[in-house]
Amino acid sequence: MKYLTYVEDVSKDLSGYTLISPSVSVGNVGQLAVDLLLHNLRCQRLGTFGHPSLQPVVGTLPDSDADGQTHLMTAMEAYVCEEKKLLVIQIRAPISPKGRLSLLAELVQWAAERGLKRVLQLASCHAAARPDPAAPRLCHVTVAGDDVDALTALAPPQPEIPRPEGDAHRPPPYLPGAGFVPDLYRACEAAKFPYTCLLRHTYEGNNIPEAVDICNCLDSWLGLLDESQKSRPDPYSVLGRWRMPPTWSHLFGPAPDASLY
């Protein structure tokens, strides 16, 4: 039985598009990277997903349009960038373990039925779990069938992480802190659907730099930013050539009351 629902513009042809999705992982790096993509690529909202395993979230979302309007946001939404042929999903709530496999399998099936060509996941992983502290912090994991030759020079394949004792029963890949990356990996593998995950090793904290790293890698690989954006980087900002999304206006909450000091 299918539980995944999707309300959308049914006339939209998504053939040949790449589906980009974050994982709710350590430091929320994938979700921050998706925020950067949505704002800088001027993605248009296309639809919203619903599933019993999605924890309910609803609220107002600041719009990047000049009219300054706000829009209703939900736990899982889809946006489209027609110029780059991208379908970008933002997930704003954890996915419950009960029903997670069903959601991901149905999402992959939906992507295949709509003619999308690959799934590209953005995520993070606990840096302390790296087998070699000197290894690159940005790596990739892929399912056979996806063309990642150009990506390998930017983000090498993720090395195997040693498993703790008593955890050998779980199927690969083992990626502590990466959220549902292993589950989506296996869902795409079972469906023989091309899949690649860009994985940034990190710690909890201000994870904006890690999100920028992922987006810079995506831009070098897929050519996302136009020349006008690339020619005006800000050398004094960690964002570089990326513009800060309005959704980050309250990222860390208000500053401490000065009277406390």
- For residue 36, the model assigns a pLDDT of 95
Cα separation values, 32 from 117, 122, 166, 170, 253, Å: 24, 10, 33, 29, 16
Residue 144: inside a domain: yes
253 exposed, middle or buried (CB, 10 Å; 0-12, 13-18, 19+)? exposed
Angle between helices 29-40 and 208-222 (to 10 degrees): 50
Q: Is the dihedral of CA 62, 67, 71, 77 positive or negative?
A: negative
In this structure, what DSSP letter does residue 53 have? T
Residue-wise DSSP of 153-195: TTSPBPPPPPPPTT-TTSPSP--TT-TTHHHHHHHHHHHT--E
- For residue 241, the model assigns a pLDDT of 87
Residue 163: inside a domain: no
* 191 contacts 112 by C-beta, under 8 angstroms: yes
Type of residue numbered 67: D
- For residue 235, the model assigns a pLDDT of 60
How many structural domains does the chain have?
A: 1
Cα separation values, 107 from 183, 184, 187, 191, Å: 12, 9, 9, 11
Mind listing the pLDDT tens digit for each residue in 25-51?
Answer: 999 999 999 999 999 999 998 989 999
Residue 261: inside a domain: no
Q: What is the CATH classification number for the domain harbouring 21?
A: 3.40.50.10900
Question: Nearest 5°: phi and psi at 141?
Answer: -125, 135
Residue 259: inside a domain: no
Residue 256: inside a domain: no
Residues of the chain with confidence (pLDDT) below 70: 1-3, 8-10, 62-70, 146, 165-172, 229-236
* 208 contacts 32 by C-beta, under 8 angstroms: yes
* 107 contacts 23 by C-beta, under 8 angstroms: no
Residue 141: inside a domain: yes
Q: Which residues lie below 8 Å from residue 71, measured CB to CB, with a gap of 6+?
A: 45, 60, 61, 63
Residue 190: inside a domain: yes
* 80 contacts 87 by C-beta, under 8 angstroms: yes
Cα separation values, 89 from 16, 22, 126, 231, 240, Å: 16, 7, 23, 28, 24
Residue 31: inside a domain: yes
**pTM, full prediction:** 0.89
Q: Is the dihedral of CA 211, 217, 218, 223 positive or negative?
A: positive
- Of the candidates 181, 255, 260, which has an alpha carbon nearest to the alpha carbon of residue 22? 181
Domain interval for residue 118: 5-158+172-251
